[in-house]
Structure 1
Amino acid sequence: MRPFEEIVTEYGPMVLRVCRAVLGPQDAEDAWSETFLAALKAYPDLPPGANVEAWLVTVAHRKAIDVTRASARRPVPVEALPERPSRVGRPEEWDGDLWRALGALPVRQRQAVVYHYLAGLPYKEIAALHGGSTDAARRAAADGIKTLRTTYPRPAEQREVAR
């Protein structure tokens, strides 16, 4: 098996080009480094006669995906945070039954319902907070609302029960 230093020397420029093409110049060097760190660990287990170039491109591609995902989760700097004043007060001051019904929801559903319906965040921002997709955030909120409708009585139902 060839020394790993030779592999880096021979294929390093090609891997850097792949990283730059996928990520752009800002994140390419980090992905390049991550590629060769991962490759160094896996190199001793590489079968003899394996296509080293194709293997390194695959590793670089996966590292580029990791960098893309990590950057999508990073907060975006803004000059000032928008003020979103509360219109309903503190959660402890809400109807206790509603508070218990919200608390009984699975975490993702509860957060999606609270972030969308109480904080007014769009599903795209909820997805960014959770690290999932916009559709998953929308689905979680819809499932949470559906559960609340079955477990929490509507005001008209409360009046009928009180009679």
Structure 2
Amino acid sequence: MSLPPFQTLVDAHWRDVARLAYALAGPNLGDDVAQQAWTQALAAYPRVTSTRNLKGWLLTITHRCAMDAHRAARRTVLHDDPASLSEAPVVSAPVAPDDGLWARVDALPPRQREAVVLKYVGDLDHRAVATALGTSPAMSRRLVSDALATLRLDAEELR
């Protein structure tokens, strides 16, 4: 098996990595998360054993870097209110006219939000979403399905 040059991978998927990084980490951390993902991918690239789904591999690394960034931010932010430590980090979405869709996505439970973002922003199949989340493809489908059902109900209530 012969891996393509790393630059070919960057050229083909840099938008996907950047888009997912911004969707998961927000505009303040998106660039840093994308850069970290590319750095980790470059370091791991010689050990890749299959070229079958390099995009999914890259987006999994990006997802993990975004989660690491959220964890690091929670450790470094000083909290005046100890009760705020149990709150999930808020994910900022790309700015687009969406009738409040991103606000409703932000309100989803964290695992559902991550699954929806990986599926629709990252354009991953359920197997790749499951790999990124450390779960099974069936659970990935369930998380996305539950999230979409919640989003549909929220949209109907707004009408």
Of the two, which has the highest radius of gyration?
1
For Structure 1 versus Structure 2, the TM-score category normalised by the shorter chain is 0.3 to 0.5
- More relative contact order, 1 or 2 (CA 8 Å, 6+ apart): 2
Compute the TM-score of the two structures, normalised by the length of structure 2: 0.48
